[in-house]
Chains A and B, each alone.
Chain A
Amino acid sequence: MTVVRPPAVATWLLRRLGRRERLESLAGDLWEEHQQRRSSVWYWRQVVAAIALGACQDVRDHTWLTVRAVLIGYGVLWLHFSLLVQPTTSFLNEYYLSLPPGIRGPVFFILLAVVPWAGTGWVVGRLHRSHLAAVVLAVTVFVFLPMVFPELARKVANALDHPRYVPALAAQVWQH
């Protein structure tokens, strides 16, 4: 029988970020179904869904750990802005003005949002290795989403409290 290997990167991500409980059985099931002519797209979708569901479940099961991760996230972010961004503000302003107008936005988005997000995610992830996906998800939702997309964060908060706001949230996500 020819063995059809599922996408290695997806399998690696599942092992790295998937919820520990039952991970081997789930990975075996996905492998088995992939052998039975399931596509790589199907496999990727299952892996992404499993990581996301596992992270949500972990956040629910380990509330205090999540709170701690979010607080550490805020701390790292505060250090980043007070030790790195504030002292170099004048340089950043000059740099900003020297850039062509078309790429100013993306460059500063990377410098002031993507780099702190990746850095904070890395620090928090290193401190909570067994719940990596959950803490990165929590830091993204509670620390960065409000900072980068405040309107979107407000709608997420509304939707959590009142399901009638879900359509508005879905429309906003669709626009993005």
Chain B
Amino acid sequence: MVLLAVMRISDDAYGVPIAREIENISGRGVARGSVYFALERLEAKGLVSSALGEPTAARGGRAKRYFHVTARGVREVRDTRRTLTRLWEGLPQLEGLGV
């Protein structure tokens, strides 16, 4: 979910918009710390990369950390989507036949 949020935001993907994107789409609150821990794991796996921006007064003099999805991350999303699509196919419950 975090990886997809980073992809959707694209150039301005740092903690605040990523968390808000997930909140808007899922309709649930998100702990900001959990977003960073997920991003840290994704970065360790080479699925995202990050770079520090400039410190700003609006953030108490702290810099933003911008995240970008790597080519490997895009491949991973594509593979996951393919797998999920295959799993969803042929499920009568999801087609409204068996409910």
Interface residues of A, Cβ cutoff 8 Å to B? 1, 3, 19, 21-22, 24-33, 35, 45-46, 49-51, 53-54, 57
Interface residues of B, Cβ cutoff 8 Å to A? 14-16, 19, 31-34, 36-37, 39-40, 52, 55, 57-60, 62-65
Q: Which residues of A contact B32 (CB under 8 A)?
A: 26, 29-30, 33, 46, 49-50
CB <8 Å contact, B62 and A54 = no
CB <8 Å contact, A28 and B31 = no
If A24-B62, A25-B63, A28-B59 touch, whether A33 touches B16 (CB-CB below 8 Å) is yes
CB <8 Å contact, A21 and B40 = yes
CB <8 Å contact, A32 and B33 = no
Task: Supply 22 A–B pairs (Cβ within 8 Å), ascending by A.
Answer: A1-B58, A19-B37, A21-B40, A24-B62, A24-B63, A25-B15, A25-B62, A25-B64, A26-B15, A26-B36, A27-B60, A28-B55, A28-B64, A29-B14, A29-B15, A29-B19, A31-B58, A32-B16, A32-B59, A33-B16, A33-B32, A57-B37
Q: Which residues of A contact B39 (CB under 8 A)?
A: 22
Q: A25 is contacted by which of B31, B36, B58 (Cβ under 8 Å)?
A: B36
User: A23's closest neighbor in chain B, by CB?
Assistant: B36
Smallest CB separation, B50 vs chain A (Å): 9
Q: Which residues of B contact A45 (CB under 8 A)?
A: 31
Q: Which residues of B contact A1 (CB under 8 A)?
A: 58
Q: B31 is contacted by which of A21, A22, A50, A57 (Cβ under 8 Å)?
A: A50
User: A24's closest neighbor in chain B, by CB?
Assistant: B62
Q: Which residues of A contact B33 (CB under 8 A)?
A: 26, 46, 49-51, 53-54
Smallest CB separation, A29 vs chain B (Å): 4
How distant is the Cα of A53 from the Cα of B34 in the complex, in angstroms?
7
If A32-B16, A49-B34, A50-B32 touch, whether A22 touches B65 (CB-CB below 8 Å) is yes
Q: Which residues of B contact A31 (CB under 8 A)?
A: 58-60, 62
Chain B CB count within 10 A is highest, among A3, A29, A53, A57, for: A29
How distant is the Cα of A1 from the Cα of B59 in the complex, in angstroms?
13
